[in-house]
Structure 1
Amino acid sequence: MNRIRVAVLAGALLTLGLPAIAGAAPDTTTHTACPATAVSTAPTAHCFALYRTAHSSGVNATPEGYGPADLRDAYKLPSTGGAGQTIAIVDAFDNPSAEADLGQYRQQFGLPACTTANGCFKKVNQRGAASPLPEGNANWGVEISLDLDMVSAACPDCHILLVEANTPLTADLGAAEDTAATSGASAVSNSYGSDEYNGMDVDAKHFQHAGVAILASSGDYGFQPASFPASLANVIAVGGTTLEKADNARGWTETAWSRAGSGCSAWVPKPAWQHDANCGMRTVADVAAVADSDPGLAVYDTYGLGTQAGWVTVGGTSASSPFIAGVIGLAGDGSRLTDASSLYTHADKLFDVVGGSNGYCGDDYLCTGLQGYDAPTGVGSPNGIGAF
């Protein structure tokens, strides 16, 4: 069975009443839960969640983790831009509270309202219709809230299209991807991934849309074989970093996150614009942004979270992919990013992320944050919008 791994880091899911999986072995700061549901005998999504418990949560809690002002400062982003741009998010299942929760997030951080009524927000099913929507799912609901909040943090003036697949089957996610990419979006973010598999070229066609930047999370498993769809040559693979405030010229330090996905594809040939030495095939990732759940990102989500509904603290490459999509919208022209090639050309306009590791590879660039290109963080993280 193809098991799609969703790069969700959902704040305190166990303490919020969601089921734990027997055998999960949490460390002292983060926990892993993977409630998998067999939808059919076809390839079925396998939700992966990391979550923090050492934080306050709830509607009246003080948001913990970075907010939009922090991210704008860390990545030297302009406070305005992106008007007329639409960023699409593809997820499985429905979060019935998505629009209301997005409103709370944006109000908390002084961002302009983004609603169905004012034309900024739109939610559709995988066929592009407003109804019927898929069944609700609390785990994917946290993913949806995270995605919407990260696009908002990067590009408050962008419109947001949320496309919800009926199920996490690859066929349904592919249909949702086609809807997202043909609905006027300049960038589409996908915070999920799977082991590469024989026949994945059939699903690859859903991620090929001229004039639209397609992004995918590199995953939260550290250094291992590259994942699909991030491993596709035309998809911008987004890795993850640890971002911390510092007393230096930038005001921040940034290193490779210890769980950021990186690896060498077993199926996809190396693109002509990628020249790293120790992987003869496509290497993941291309670019990166904050993903570490400590201190994490402040996210507002209420669906299915019971008495703990409200502010949660999350992270993962599920955060970095929609954030980078928002930066593309902020820059105003996603049509020139139909693959990652121009990011490599404009690497001098990115922060070079040096330091940190996501596994053991003999200190090689495939798992270590080194000067220039490295697999966990690609060619770097945003330094303004010049590279985008």
Structure 2
Amino acid sequence: MKNTQYQKWSLNFALTATVIILAFMTSGVVSRTTPSFATSKSASINHVIPGHVIPALNNAAPDSQTDPNNVLHLSIGLTLRDRDGLATLLERQNDPKSPYYQKYMTPQQFTARFSPTQSSVDMVTNYLRSKALTVNSVAPNRLFIDATGTVKQVEDTFAVIISNYTYNNRPVYAPRNEPSVPAVIAPLIQTIGGLSNLPIYPHHHVNKNVKPLIGPGGGFTPSELRTAYGVNQLISAGYSGSGQTVAIFELDGYKSSDVDTYLSNYNLGAGKYSNVLVDGATNTPGSGAIEVVLDMEVVSALAPNATQKIYIGPNSTMGVNDTYNKIVNDNLAKVTSISWGQCEQSSGNSELAALNNIFMQGAAQGQAFFAATGDSGAYDCTNGNSILAVDSPSGDPNIVGTGGTHLTTGSGGTYSNESAWGNSSDGSGGGGGVSTYFKRPSYQTGTNLTNANRMVPDISADADPASGYSIYCTASASNCSGWLSVGGTSASAPLWAGLATNINQYLIAQGKPVLGNAHIPLYNLYNNTQAYPPFHDVTTGNNLYYQAGPNYDLATGLGSPNAWNIAQDLAAGTGGTPTPIPTSTSTPSPTPPTTITPTRTPTPIPPTGTPSPGPGQLLTNGGFEQGNVGWTEYSKSGFEIVDGTYPYSGRLSAFLCGYNNCLDSISQTVTLPNDDSKIVLSYWLAIFTSERNNGRCYDNFAVTIRTSNGTIIRTVSSKCNRDARNWTQFSFDLTNTLANYRGQQVQLTFSATTNQYLPTSFFVDNVVLGNPTSA
């Protein structure tokens, strides 16, 4: 299959012409040459890049200087373009009244609009190489540059001192001061990841003392979990994750035989999982293997027919960044489960900002991330003493933080009650509290949601190892020996990911908006009276500091799920169908698209049925709602022509060009009627351009009618970049043109080309060729 067409007409953010021009200048579109760092007049002036000194080590004295010959693996995160514009887009994507409601971006559309420019990448890589660092790779979305060098080289490059510390009784290294770089590139760099190596932990707890009252080794079975959390109704109605993909973020390997044994024991069908290995990682079970099988098995318990993509990266800053970024850039899964984390103060603010860039892209693409909030209750940070803190990435505003409860069930797994998980005897409990870095997002409103900063968790589910989940694991490196009862918020995250996958499948079948990045639909359910109670309000217990109570609380969030009720409430909600983009005969002022490159990951548009021409219509699938069925596509750069970027109506349209040096076309061959009935061609066309000289044609669009052997009968219409305007309908009477071709086959073709500079995007929808009086 060809790649999905990942080019982006700009979303109209009511920018002034001045702002648009300035955006082009700062993005490197106007100036295509990359300045040489070595010749820059500001090369000798250094600017600090804050946020790298680790707050959790503020009161710690360094043990020693880090060996200057040690090799560091750096993940250098670059700053986004137009973060405010991206924030505006995210708001509009979640506003049912906006024309951009649920109009999610593709990775390449995001790259074209918001990612750092290639010139920015070149400036940073030139600097790194000038300091003898090795540049290993640049991410497809240009958000990260991976580089390596010795401690001495890194210290010289960034004017930083790296020392050894003791953190939680283990040796680590971290910078003693904030790094700095020449002023010319300082604004381009968000973070220099890899200057520290504080560990990222999985959030699971094994209960070795539980009696096997439910599962073979204790813990809730799939049947009990489904019954307690209202998933049975979804599955019995046929919504068990079919056609959906769940990404599972991991920093360790696993034994596939463990997962297969679990699936077989609980009659969940054959495994539907495959691995995506990042940064040289291998699927070798280590001490975190139990975490991996816990995630995979819990997702399987709730969504047995979903496809699982297991993303495995190294347990390092570079591995974490690249693995999250891979999930976002692949864009294969609309739901991701995350059970690994690090307290915010151990991460450092610059790394939090870099991860936020990734998750903002995921949100703009309609991806939901469910992340464990941690298992130390409200005290997520410890280094000799407990510190009130929240976990990263669950504290990120684009992540759904999943907290922990203790679930009690009745006969057959029926829901009885829940309390917040907090065990003072061992210091364990569901993570929750207030972020020290992120402000409270606009969606987090309602009763008890008043703190100025981001509050977690958002929602919760069973996590107490004293109730636990039935899991099978035999990885010796994880001290596994068969059937176990495992708890932790590492279990609540995949549970929510699994049921969210089923809910998405249900909503799609009802023709309703899916969860998207999930926050706003969940908080809308909380803030508005629903026909069916969507959450179990957990009102007892605490997470070692915060007390559970009525409505939202910092121990359990909105509560635990009733999946069937959530699905029904969302399907019956007033969010409704996305508002069509209004047509206009006046020229709009969209922010133009910018240059893109094709993706290597194909995402074909699946057919939704077998179309047939309607009355008076000679074309098959003229509205493109069945993908490319009936049409022949060609793209010089291998893009899918039919996609959901900007339809006039429905969910799909034909998208031609939007990238440099384009040659795209889409055509269909039809047989003309033998009689002398009227033949009319009509279609809707939208054109958005980056070209600034509207008086000249650089990028062209043509509509032609050809014979079966390719000879042009008539060029029906020609347009170019200077004709840019929003959706406009065109209609042409072809009766006389085709009079001599009655009973013969002819080919209708839409084609477009662009030059090597500023691209133009052409959209076509609702094409009709035939006799309108027969309709």
Counterpart position of 1:292: 464
- 1:63 — aligned with what? 217
Identify the residue that residue 340 of structure 1 maps to in structure 2. Answer: 519
Q: How is 1:47-58 mapped onto 2 (pairs within 5 angstroms)?
A: 47=201, 50-55=205-210
Query: For residues 222 and 297 of structure 2, what CA distance do their matches in structure 1 show?
Result: 9
In structure 2, what is the equivalent of residue 195 of structure 1? 343
Per-residue CA deviations over 1:321-379 (Å, capped at 9, x if unaligned) read 0110001111125953314121111134122122111123xxxxxx1221111122111
Give runs of aligned pairs for residues 144-159 of structure 1, distance below 5 A. Answer: 144-159=292-307
CA distance in 1, matches of 2:466, 2:170: 26
The answer to whether the 8 A contact 2:337-2:493 is kept is: yes
Q: Which of these residues, 532, 535, 554, is aligned with residue 350 of structure 1?
A: 535
Corresponding position of 1:30: none
CA 1:37–1:51 in 2, change beyond 3 Å: closer, same or farther? Answer: farther
Deviates more, 1:329-338 or 1:217-226: 329-338
Q: Is the 8 A contact 1:175 1:206 kept in 2?
A: no
Question: What's the secondary structure of 1:312's corresponding residue?
Answer: strand
Query: Residue 328 and residue 3 in structure 1: after superposition, are their counterparts in 2 closer, same or farther (change >3 A)?
Result: farther
Give the drift of 1:134. Answer: 2.7
CA contact (8 A) 1:246 1:253 kept: no
Highest Rg: 1 or 2?
2
Residue 86 of structure 1 corresponds to which residue in structure 2?
245
Q: Retained in 1: the 8 A contact 2:311–2:323? A: yes
Three-state SS of the structure 1 residue aligned to 2:288 is helix
Structure-2 change in CA distance of 1:278 and 1:359 (3 Å): farther
Query: Pairwise CA RMSD of aligned residues?
Result: 2.8
Deviating above 4 A after TM superposition, structure 1's stretches of 4 or more consecutive aligned residues are 1-4, 34-41, 247-250, 305-308
Q: Secondary structure at the match of 1:238?
A: strand
Using the size of structure 1 for normalisation, the TM-score is 0.79
Mapped contact 1:150–1:319 kept (Cα < 8 A): yes
Shift of 1:381: 1.2
Q: Which residue of 1 is the match for residue 432 of structure 2?
A: 262
Q: What are the equivalent positions in structure 2 for 1:235-384 lying under 5 Å apart?
A: 235-246=399-410, 251-258=415-422, 259-275=429-445, 276-277=448-449, 279-304=451-476, 309-332=481-504, 336-347=515-526, 348-360=533-545, 367-384=546-563
Structure 1 stretches lacking a partner, 5+ long: 5-33, 115-119, 361-366
TM, length-normalised to structure 2: 0.41
Counterpart CA distance in 1 for 2:480 and 2:563 is 36
Shift of 1:3: 11
The structure whose RCO (Cα within 8 Å, separation 6+) is larger is 1
3-state SS of paired residue (1:156): coil
Counterparts of 1:84 and 1:172, CA distance in 2: 29
2:395 to 188, 213, 231: 231
2:201, 2:342 within 8 Å by CA — same for their partners in 1? no
Residue in structure 1 matched with residue 257 of structure 2 by the alignment: 100
Q: Residues 353 and 377 of structure 1 are in contact (CA less than 8 Å); yes or no, is this contact kept in structure 2?
A: yes
Determine helix, strand or coil for the equivalent of 1:371.
coil
- Distance in 2 separating the partners of 1:283 and 1:109: 37
**Residues 205 and 385 (structure 1), Cα distance of their counterparts in 2 relative to 1, 3 Å cut:** farther
Equivalent residue, structure 1, for 2:375: 220
Residues 214 and 311 (structure 1 numbering): CA distance in 2 closer, same or farther, change over 3 Å? Answer: same
Paired residue type of 2:273: F
**Residue 266 of structure 2: which of 109, 127, 136 is its match?**
109
**Partners in 2 of 1:308 and 1:168 — Cα distance?**
21
Partner Cα distance (2:475, 2:399) in 1? 31
CA contact (8 A) 1:67 1:298 kept: yes
Deviations 1:207-228 (A, max 9, x none): 2312110111111111232221
The Cα shift of 1:383 comes to 0.7
CA 1:285–1:136 in 2, change beyond 3 Å: closer, same or farther?
same
Query: Is the CA contact 2:252–2:292 (under 8 Å) kept in the aligned structure 1?
Result: no
Q: 3-state SS of the aligned residue for 1:143?
A: helix
1:129-157 alpha-carbon deviations (Å, 9 max, x no partner)? xxx54363432101001000110111111
Tell me how far 1:51 sits from its aligned partner.
Answer: 2.7
2:435 counterpart SS class: strand
Q: Percent identity?
A: 26
Q: Which amino acid aligns with 1:359?
A: L
Partner of 1:161: 309
- Secondary structure at the counterpart of residue 342 of structure 1: helix
Equivalent residues of 1:121, 1:160 under 8 A apart: yes
**Superimposed CA distance per residue, residues 191-244 of structure 1 (whole angstroms, 9 cap, x where no aligned partner):** 122222221202222223121101111111112322211111111011111001
Cα distance in 1 for residues equivalent to 2:281 and 2:309: 14
Distance of 1:291 and 1:387 partners within structure 2: 21
Unaligned regions of 5+ residues in structure 2, if any?
1-52, 57-167, 174-193, 379-387, 423-428, 506-512, 527-532, 568-775
Deviations 1:235-254 (A, max 9, x none): 10111110012479954211
AA aligned to 1:257 is: W
Output the amino acid matched with 2:438: V
C-alpha displacement at 1:268, in angstroms?
Answer: 0.4
How many angstroms does 1:46 deviate by? 4.3
Contact 2:289 2:478 in 1 (8 A): no
Residue of structure 2 aligned with 1:179, choices 302, 314, 326: 326
